[in-house]
Amino acid sequence: MRKVAIVGVGMTKFGEHWDRGFRDLVTEAGVKALEDAGMSGAEISAGYVGTMAAGSLIGQEHTGALIADYMGLNPIPITRVEGACASGSLALRQGLMAVASGMHDVVVVGGVEKMTDLDTAEVSEILGGAGDQEWELFLGATFPGLYAMMARRYMHDYKATSEMLASVAVKNHKHGSMNQFAQYQNEITIQDVLDSKMVADPLRILDCSPLTDGAAAVVLAPLDIAKKYTDTPIEIVASAQASDTIALHNRSSITGVKAAEIAAQAAYKQAGVSPSQIKVAEVHDCFTIAEIMAIEDLGFFPKGKGGEASLNGETQIGAKIPINTSGGLKAAGHPVGATGVKQAVELTWQLQGEAGKRQVSGADVGLSHNVGGSGATAVVHIYKRVN
C-alpha cells in the first residue's frame, strides 16, 4: 500500500445558496481544490463523490456522471458513494484506497448536498432515510427524536445537564465566528440555547445542526509525488470505518456510538498514535449530545465526562483538545454529503498552519470523526503534517 497525501483542498461557503444549484456548488469546490493543487483536470485519473440524498432533495441521481460532465473531467470514472451523513468520509476513504492500492494516481474527492430547495418538513423526512425507515421513521421517530433519546439516557446515566449540551453549541458558534465559510458566524450564549425553541426534549433548536447547501473537495496523490503539487502535503495516516445496527433500539448502549469507538481504536492503531497526541479534531456534532459522545468515543475524555469538559471549555481553541475549529456541523453548517470532506479540508488548513484566526498552534496531527445516521456507520481519519 502506498502512502497517500492531500495536495489540494477547496470548499464553497456553507449556507443557504438559494441562487445556486448542486452542480454549481460541487464544481466550485472541485475547481478550487484543483487550483489549490496547482493542477489541471487532465492530471486527475478518478473521482469519488459523497452525497446522501440528491435523488430525493433535487431529483438528481447519477451524480458521478453529472459532476464529471460539469467539471470537464470526462471520460475519467467518477463514483458516487452514500453512507447517510458519513457519505463524505466514505468518498474520502474510497479515494484513499484507490490511490493507496495503486489503482489510480491522482484522485479528486468531493462531498456535496443541496438541501434548501425543499421545505424543512420535506427535508426532515428525507433525512429520516438515514435511520431505519421500517422500524423507526414509519413509527414516528425523527432524527432529533432519536438523538433526544440518546441525550435523555446520557443525562440520566451521567448526570449531564442542559447547560453542558448548550456549551457545545456556544463553543462551536465561537469557532464558526472565525470561519468565513461557516453558515453561522454569530456568537451565542448558553442562555440563548436554553431559551431557544424546543425540538425534541431535551434538544432545542440551537442544539441542532442546520439545513445547509454546500460542497467541499480534496485532491489526493501518492505521498512520494505530493511535493510536486504542494509544499505542505498532509498525509492521511489512518482510515477506519465501522458499522452497527441501523436502528437505535437494537444497540446495547445508546449513550455512545460503538461504531465510532471501534473505528477510532482501529485508526489510532493504524496511525500509531494515542488520543493524547491529537492536536485538533473535527467531530460529528449533528446535535450537541453527539459531540459530547464523540469526544468520549474518541478517547479524549473518560466516559461520562464529556459534558463537564465541554462546559469547562476544554474543547475550545487553545484548550486541552480543540474540537470543531470550523464551527462543526452546528455553526459551519451540515450539507450532509459535504460534511466529511469539509472536515478533511478544515484539518488540512489546520495542519498547514493556514487556518487564520482559528489556527491551533502546534497542530501537527488531526482527526476527523464522521457518523452516519444515529451511529450505524462511523468513519475516522487521522491526518499528519509531513515534515
Q: Which residues bind another protein (CB under 8 A)?
A: 16, 18-19, 116, 119-120, 195, 197
Q: Dihedrals φ, ψ of 145, to 5°?
A: -65, -45
For this structure, is 369 an active site residue?
no
Annotated catalytic residue, options 85, 208, 369, 381: 85
| Residue keyed to cell 428525507 | 126
Q: Specify the 3-state DSSP secondary structure of 176.
A: helix
Angstrom distance (rounded) from CA 221 to CA 246:
34
Q: Toward another protein, which CB reaches closer, 18 or 252?
A: 18
Is 286 catalytic? The answer is no
Q: For another protein, give the closer residue by CB, 16 or 187.
A: 16
Confirm if 185 and 177 have CB atoms less than 8 A apart: yes
Please identify, using beta-carbon distances, which residue of 13 and 228 lies nearer to another protein.
13
Taking the complex as a whole, the smallest distance from the CB of residue 6 to another protein amounts, in Å, to: 34
Bridge partners (DSSP) listed for residue 382: 238, 367
Calpha distance 96→91 (Å, rounded): 8
Select 116 or 377, whichever has its Cβ closest to another protein.
Answer: 116
Reading the block at residue 237, the C-alpha cell is 495516516
Smallest distance, another protein to C-beta of residue 355, A: 29
Catalytic one among 104, 173, 284, 334? 334
> Cβ atoms within 10 A of the Cβ of 311, count?
21
- Secondary structure E strands in the chain: 4-11, 46-50, 78-81, 107-113, 198-200, 203-204, 214-222, 234-243, 280-282, 365-372, 377-385
Q: How far is the CB of 18 from another protein (least distance, A)?
A: 6
Measured from the CB atom, the residue of 166 and 371 that comes closer to another protein is 166
* Minimum CB–partner distance for residue 119 and another protein (Å): 7
- Please report how close the Cβ of residue 123 comes to another protein at its closest, in angstroms: 11
Q: Which residues are catalytic?
A: 85, 334
